[in-house]
Chains A and B, each alone.
Chain A
Amino acid sequence: MAQASVVEAQVKEAAQRDRGSGLAARRARIAFLFCLPLILLVVALVIYPAFYSLYLATLNKSMTRFVGLGNFAFLFRRETFWMVVEQSIIFAVSAVIFKALIGFVLAHLLHALPPRGQRAWRGLLLVPWVIPPAMSTLVWWWMYEPSYSALNWLLMGIGFAPVPWLGDPYWARFSVILVNVWYGAPFFMIMYLAALKSVPAELYESAEIDGANAWQKLVYVTLPMLRNIIAITVLFSLIVTFANFDIVRILTAGGPRDMTHVFATYAFKLGIESNDIPLGACVSLFMFPILAVAAVFILRDVHRRSREIAGVSG
């Protein structure tokens, strides 16, 4: 609320200032023209489809009749849908936790190296993030392959029983999460490494003088200094992971027994493959709540930055 009024005041102030001189008005016109392509793109291909999907979700399968919340009622009665909800949450939450933990550990390890060595290691560790995810998922699929499985060969080599990576529903859930963690952890690593480098070394020095051990330095210096970046990366990743499509689609296509479906793959299956566009739109709408929550948090942060950008003094 307070922020909204601040922004309003700024806009009003700018409008008044612009009205003051013809030059400023001309400037504002040119500025608007420069932004026009962006505005058109966002309105036509993001905002309009988003609202259109709300409308679509209220139609029947052949899109001839308005059914209100009928599609939602239909979904709520289906066991598969609740499984999708459950798996989406399991998938996103556990993948994000592991990505963040591994990224945090890796960033610390890299940060402890002498600066000259960091570059090469960082370069190697970021490779999973650079490969198109659809392609690396294909490779994982091949590694999970039951009869030729490279992973099972390794497991058997150290004396374990072979694992039905994608054949057993619960192992399949584990497998899709593992691929997501493999793909996303380097992103967290890079973010946290950049943040670690911006923590002033004096803080650690004075902590050391005060007799803090490594754990205390982590808890009382590093974590408070990195709190913002951790919150933002986790939020970003939560959105992206909730909306993940490629990995599940290629590895399992939702099987076995629909137990690995997430919202995106289930929406694709219903909307595109089974040709029930309203039902598919309905499923994809369930990604909205997480988005809305994230938006509120991020907005608080973004407001501050866009004010800085707009050059508002004070």
Chain B
Amino acid sequence: MSRADAAAAPYRVGRPRRWALWAAYGCLALFCVFFLAPPLYALVTSLKTSQEIAALEGNPWFVREPTLANYAALLGSPVFLQFFWNSTRVAVIVVSVTMIISTLAAFSLARMRFFGSTALATGVFLTYLIPETLLFIPKFQIFTWLRDLTGIEFINRWWLLCIVYPTLTVPFCTWILIGYFSSIPKELDEAAIVDGASYLQILFKVFLPVALPGLIAATIFAFTVCWAQFLYPLAFTTSLDQLVLPVGIVTNLIKGDVFNWGQIMAGALLTAAPPVLLYAFLMDYYIAGLTAGATKG
């Protein structure tokens, strides 16, 4: 891609275009300010003491006596650590389940055929479009009904999220993996079949190594989605020890009339940290996953 850009460069950077380039930099800088102001302001607030936040004088965008007390308070609080632990185990379980289900299905839909496989590939994509806001009420009722039937409590259990989250991650992950798998040359698996490999062997020895970038992109997507999910845990979990991070911070740190803004902002930043770090180190995979769904359509 960069080579193609370099080839196009002479036409783009002519002398009359220099002012246009500077204008582009100026506009981008303005948008950067707009896009980055909220996280920056969260950082500034999280470094302030409650006294400094309550004092209504001076520039709110500067911190005069920076302190890490808010972070220390959160990281020392068993409640916050419980939220973090719940989020982590839900994410690990959901990402693993998602990758197993979608890899198998994508391999089958990309390479093998059976009655209705074409319709299924289309159906998978359509399910991705059904928003969770349409399904949370019937699901709530279904789990209440299952409790009456089996005697097992589903609502207000953290592992319930492991059951419902895959519906958010599996369709899209399957879809992007189908794209990656079908770009693998057919000769590769035909050669493996001739050598007497089973389908599982072909999947693990041929497809997974070759489609590794796609797997990474799908994993990042699945993790980001379940880490950020807000509606399901808000509707399905209420006890302190069952909450995951986003809901825990919104419902637990915001209570009563006195908001501890420093801690809320520190909590928001700590919650945002894992996906942001993942993004910082694996940006290309992240963007590949993001664009794979639509540009190939």
Partners in one complex: yes
Binding site for B on A (CB under 8 A): 7, 10-11, 14-15, 18, 27-32, 34-35, 37-39, 41-42, 45-50, 52-53, 56, 63, 102, 105-106, 109-110, 112-115, 119, 121-128, 130-136, 138-140, 142-143, 145, 147-148, 150, 153-154, 182, 185-187, 190-191, 194-195, 197-198, 201, 204-205, 208, 228-229, 232-233, 236, 239-240, 242-246, 249-250, 263-264, 267-268, 271-272, 277, 280-281, 284-285, 287-288, 291, 294-295, 298-299, 301-303, 305-311
B178 smallest CB distance to A (angstroms): 6
18 of the cross-chain contacts (CB-CB < 8 Å) are: A14-B115, A31-B114, A34-B107, A35-B104, A50-B135, A109-B28, A110-B28, A115-B9, A130-B275, A134-B246, A139-B265, A245-B230, A263-B133, A267-B137, A281-B138, A288-B134, A291-B130, A308-B182
B59 smallest CB distance to A (angstroms): 7
Are A246 and B230 in contact, with the CB atoms below 8 A? yes
Given A134-B230, A232-B294, A272–B140 Cβ distance below 8 Å?
Answer: yes
Count CB-based A-B contacts (< 8 Å): 344
Are B27 and A30 in contact, with the CB atoms below 8 A? no
Q: Say if the beta carbon of B118 comes within 8 Å of chain A.
A: yes
Are B139 and A45 in contact, with the CB atoms below 8 A? yes
Residue ID in chain B nearest A117 by CB atoms: B25
Residue ID in chain A nearest B199 by CB atoms: A30
Are B35 and A127 in contact, with the CB atoms below 8 A? yes
Alpha-carbon separation in the docked complex, A232 to B294 (Å) = 7
CB under 8 Å from chain A, chain B span 42-99: 42, 45, 53, 56, 59-61
CB under 8 Å from chain A, chain B span 117-154: 117-127, 129-142
Are A187 and B134 in contact, with the CB atoms below 8 A? no
B interface SS class:
helix
Are A250 and B108 in contact, with the CB atoms below 8 A? no
Alpha-carbon separation in the docked complex, A309 to B180 (Å) = 10
Are B140 and A132 in contact, with the CB atoms below 8 A? no
Residue interface bits B275-297, CB-to-A below 8 A is 1, else 0: 11001100100110011001111
Alpha-carbon separation in the docked complex, A105 to B28 (Å) = 10
Are B170 and A41 in contact, with the CB atoms below 8 A? yes
Are B140 and A277 in contact, with the CB atoms below 8 A? yes
Residue ID in chain A nearest B107 by CB atoms: A34
Q: Say if the beta carbon of B222 comes within 8 Å of chain A.
A: no
Are B35 and A50 in contact, with the CB atoms below 8 A? no
Given A38-B101, A139-B38, A232-B294, A309–B11 Cβ distance below 8 Å?
Answer: no
Given A125-B32, A134-B228, A305-B296, A28–B122 Cβ distance below 8 Å?
Answer: no
Alpha-carbon separation in the docked complex, A204 to B2 (Å) = 18
Alpha-carbon separation in the docked complex, A145 to B34 (Å) = 18
Are B142 and A52 in contact, with the CB atoms below 8 A? yes
Are B35 and A295 in contact, with the CB atoms below 8 A? no
Q: Say if the beta carbon of B13 comes within 8 Å of chain A.
A: yes
Are A201 and B131 in contact, with the CB atoms below 8 A? no
Query: Which listed residue (A106, A243, A305) contacts B31, Cβ 8 A?
Result: A106
Alpha-carbon separation in the docked complex, A41 to B174 (Å) = 13
Query: Which listed residue (A131, A190, A244) contacts B39, Cβ 8 A?
Result: A131
Supply 6 further A-B pairs (C-beta < 8 A) apart from A128-B38, A244-B133.
A28-B112, A132-B227, A245-B231, A272-B136, A272-B235, A277-B140
